[in-house]
Amino acid sequence: MWLEILLSVVLGLVIYWFVSWDKEETLPLGDGWWGPGPRPPAEDESIRPFKVETSDEEIDDLHQRIRKARLTPPLEDSRFHYGFNSNYLKTILSYWQNEFDWKKQVEVLNRYPHFKTKIEGLDIHFIHVKPPQLPSGCTPKPLLMVHGWPGSFYEFYKIIPLLTDPKNHGLSDKHVFEVICPSIPGYGFSEAASKKGLNSVATARIFYKLMLRLGFQEFYTQGGDWGSLICTNMAQLVPSHVKGLHLNMAFVLRNVYTLALFLGPRFQKLLGCTERDVELMFPLKEKIFYSLLRESGYMHIQSTKPDTVGCALNDSPVGLAAYILEKFSTWTNTEFRDLEDGGLLGKFSLDDLLTIIMIYWTTGTITSSQRFYKENMGGNFLADKHQRMKVYVPTGFAAFPCELMHVPEKWVKVKYPKLISYSYMARGGHFAAFEEPELLAHDICKFVGLVEGQ
């Protein structure tokens, strides 16, 4: 007991020094050119309408490749413990070939207005959805929403109407948003870089330029996965332009609190963690160590040699589907690995899941999307300046219980000192907007209300 108290005092002093060391910094904005060849004297800054299209030839080629798939039988009673179960994959392939209507899904994708514009040499794709109607005296709040891997802008299709037209979807219209969802360069319909080095900071700068080009000097941002890092970097680059930052994932590895994890659950409570935090993090061996070990193999591959596995995935729609959909299984809930179907249809429809796959397949961007890991984590990830910097804009955080790793409020506040909203969400995992659009929309509105009330 006395040893625990002594350790608490010592560690508390270290944490106090670490947390109280506040030096407001901004990242240098810089500039870049990621297109092929040298930078031209001028760049076309026009914003052009864009439509997703397909053809019979594209669909016929897909079906032919699916028919020729060679699958290895799974081990008995292996379910999803060895990765995507090939028995269930046969069910998905049958649906994909015989029932999935890509032309209909293209119409769904085109439900919202798409655009492209050249920024730093790349054709950047985005959707821009304005409110269909506004309450009297209300001005829509611009909200930039950024996806991650292996997702896309399509993840936000169900949350967009809740934010742009809340009254007609059973929500309060106190806060109405104008939503902008770009595709990260090299993902989907955004052009991939021709040069090395396009990381999260460069992407944040590109998306900042996009918002300026759309006429927004101040705006809110929201992101999970890579989107959380990109939005964080934007707040570090141009804090005066980011009115508020809402996240459902946080990169807080450079954090003295993580050192205390190994001292056990009783110690966490002495450091300010709640019962819910302890429940979500312990037993440590299973909920963090083994879980991260099981789910991070892809990360090592993509952070070192993404092009190698990319060659296989870009050539096989079946391999691509297995590789991506496995993440939509266990990242939604790690316990889904115990199910024969990976629990995929518990939160998603096959049409929605295959639409995500088709965005990667038809654009041929799986390899370039994976390179984003190499650009961000291929060197000394934790030594990057933005990892050491705090974020000084109002921040809100939604902690979904089935996220890959739980991040307590105390941890978040070290990186984001202006954290004004932290919510334990009732359910949901990694793909928050895709899984639980209403829960996330409510939390965004709650956060914005706090910012506006300051």
Catalytic machinery residues:
225, 373, 430
First-last CA distance in the chain? 43
CA–CA dist 412, 447 (Å, integer)? 15
Annotate 250-266 with b (16+ C-beta within 10 A) or e (fewer).
bbbebbbbeebbebebe
Give the C-alpha distances (Å, rounded to integers) separating 331 from 169, 312, 334, 341, 365: 28, 23, 6, 14, 21
Length of the chain as a residue count? 454
The verdict on whether omega for the bond into residue 283 sits within 30 degrees of 0, i.e. cis, is: yes
CA–CA dist 44, 180 (Å, integer)? 21
In the DSSP assignment, the letter for residue 337 is G
H or E segment and range at residue 422 = strand 419-424
| Whether the Cβ atoms of residue 160 and residue 140 lie closer than 8 Å to each other | no
Q: Tell me the DSSP string of 252-273.
A: --S-GGGGGGGG-HHHHHHTT-
**Phi, psi of 211, rounded to the nearest 5 degrees:** -65, -40
138: its two tokens: 């209300």
| Whether the Cβ atoms of residue 208 and residue 241 lie closer than 8 Å to each other | yes
H or E segment and range at residue 368 = helix 366-377
CA–CA dist 319, 317 (Å, integer)? 6
